[in-house]
Chains A and B, each alone.
Chain A
């Protein structure tokens, strides 16, 4: 009993230390989305000029197929990093990718796609105050959402998509959803 008393402070410290050590390995940018398993927000975004689209991105246009919704902007630095991966996905025809051009000048957004390649099927523009991005709970760009056939958000990835993340995490989830 006495010995237990002496061990107690050490035990309390050890437990706290474990929590803090765990905290060191977490990514503070990775905030769990509250939108998982909820329908895509109501939206009717205008198309990006110069892509030949007559309608941009709407809630309805995300129904019928599993798709990836990518939040990007011409001002976004990390988007450049993930762009080749998106182009690759388009080339292989893995899954349709739609985009929200967030807080961007549409002219710049379109020019950016001309310069870097256009991996998107539909692009909607979301000018400030970025209501749609807020409805998606977006905290920065790039962010990507996997949306199932019924227009339900099933997964969110924060930050650029690397080849590895695509192959090991996102594609398996998409394939699983396509089976249903």
Chain B
């Protein structure tokens, strides 16, 4: 930008940065050396990994997380799959050690009813409230009309109106 020929340098640096950004791909937590040889099994492992919570980060799946424990769990999940476990068996293996907390999608059971049905209940309650608000029951009086003006009040009003017309 200056008169000393920096402008060209700036532009070069900018171009280099853009090139670098274009070259980069999103980083994967799953390392190639962890992967199973069988693509179908590896795909199952990836799908399972998306459902399992990383216990360190707590809001990432083990498939996304770079934490060591997430890596360990990815390796163990793949071991179970290679041994011939079904998806449910792998899930049960992890839940057996970490509890339902490890499942990013909470299971539907007695203890989680409020979690699953609570929002629906709130929504239905809101719908009911809206309906109740707009539904005027027959015979139900709305605000009564104000009583008619007395002769005195009417005279005052006429006077005021006349004055304002002038």
Contact = CB atoms under 8 A, between A and B. Distances in A.
Given A5-B132, A28-B58, A129-B75, A135 B69 contact: no
A145 to B, nearest CB: 13
Interface string B97-129: 111010000000000000000000010010001
Contacts of A33: 99
B72 A31 contact: no
Contact of A34 (B69, B76, B96): B96
Interface in A27-80: 28, 31-35
A137 B98 contact: yes
A128 interface: yes
| Interface size band for A | 20 to 34
Interface of B: 55-56, 58, 68-69, 71-73, 75-76, 95-99, 101, 122, 125, 129, 132
Interface of A: 5, 8, 12, 28, 31-35, 103, 128-131, 133-140
Chain B's interface: helix, strand, loop or mixed, by majority? Answer: helix
When A and B form their complex, which 8 residue pairs have the shortest distance between CB atoms, in order from nearest? A129-B72, A139-B55, A34-B99, A129-B75, A137-B97, A130-B72, A137-B98, A31-B101
Given A28-B58, A129-B76, A134-B76, A139 B97 contact: no
Given A31-B55, A139-B55, A129 B71 contact: yes
Contacts of B69: 130, 138-140
Contacts of B132: 5
9 contacts: A5-B132, A8-B129, A31-B101, A34-B96, A35-B97, A103-B68, A131-B76, A134-B97, A138-B69
A154 B97 CA distance: 15
Most chain-B CB neighbours within 10 Å: which of A12, A103, A129, A137?
A129
Nearest to A29: B58
B58 A134 contact: no
A31 B76 contact: no
Nearest to A140: B56
Contacts of B97: 34-35, 134-137
Contacts of B72: 103, 128-130, 133-134
A34 B99 CA distance: 6
B71 A139 contact: no
A59 to B, nearest CB: 16
Contacts of B98: 31, 34, 137, 139
A35 to B, nearest CB: 7
Contacts of A138: 69
